[in-house]
Amino acid sequence: MRLSQGHLTLLDYCPRRFQHTVLDSLMVPTNPDLLAGQRWGNRFHLMMQQREMGLPVEPVLAEDPELQAAVTALAAADPSLFEHHERFRQSEHGRALVLNGYWFTVIYDLLRLWDGQGEIIDWKTYLNPRNLNFLSRDWQTRLYCYVLVETTDLSPDQVTMTYWFVRTRDPVTQEQQPQRVQIPYSAQRHAQTHIDLLRLTDYLTQAMATSNPLPQIPETQVEKCAHCPFMMRCQRGSARGDETPELPPLEAIPEVVL
């Protein structure tokens, strides 16, 4: 079975939601505002990939002033992002690792490798940046760094994960002002991630070995259900009535590759 960082996020947060989303492939209505943000994010990722491949991006930028402003501001904030001095550099770089009977897959928006140093860059296109503490604990950071160490000769302290929030604006001028959050990896974080991956995969293997659905979160943590699209199906909270559950904000929805 293939697992991504989005799967790990769901499984760690709520096994029953993992059941609905991944194992049962249940779909939920998508917020139109969320779709618009996703479309813009897809255009940005595609444009950056085309640029790394040496393809012309000017026609794309000419049709989207916000996209042009984001790229211009990003180049001004860190010109090295658009320079090629690395030993290895690739956009949309995929890697895979087999651990405890599961196939873990990652796709790096941009991977940069020097001798004795590696940097994973991730473009974030939603409007509200996450802070360092949240991103350090997030499964994307943990899995992306873990797989890079396990599939290269880099040690944990030679790896860095960098998030660029490319759509943020200056609160006064409203001009594009991308924000960077850089997270150094470490041997301690690597060891803890290994332990947690074994814990989650052992749990998933044992849970799927039965004919029962994966368990719900305890009633004592029912506040987690407040914005879950499966609240009615799980008979949790106000969903026991006829209310429609509120969809979570864009930044709260993990990326899940099915």
Reported residue count of the chain is 258
Q: Which of 62-76, 164-178, 237-251 has the lowest mean pLDDT?
A: 237-251
Confirm if 78 and 121 have CB atoms less than 8 A apart. no
Q: Please check the confidence at residue 96 and state whether its pLDDT lies above 90.
A: yes
Whole-number Å distance between alpha carbons of 74 and 58? 16
* Lowest-confidence region among 11-15, 99-103, 167-171, 191-195: 167-171
135-156 mean pLDDT: 97
Separation CA 47–CA 65 (nearest Å): 13
- Do 169 and 163 form a contact (C-beta atoms < 8 A)? no
Identify the CA nearest to 22 among candidates 49, 2, 42, 43. Answer: 2
CA–CA dist 238, 218 (Å, integer) = 16
What is the pTM assigned to this prediction? 0.88
pLDDT band for 72, please (50, 70, 90 cuts).
very high
Distance between start and end Cα atoms, the chain:
11
Tell me, what's the pLDDT at 231?
A: 86
Question: Hey, where are the domains in the chain?
Answer: 41-222
At the second CATH level, the architecture of 41-222 is Alpha-Beta Complex (3.90)
pLDDT of residue 30: 73
User: What residue has token string 């991956």?
Assistant: 197
Question: Phi/psi of residue 99, each to 5°?
Answer: -145, 125
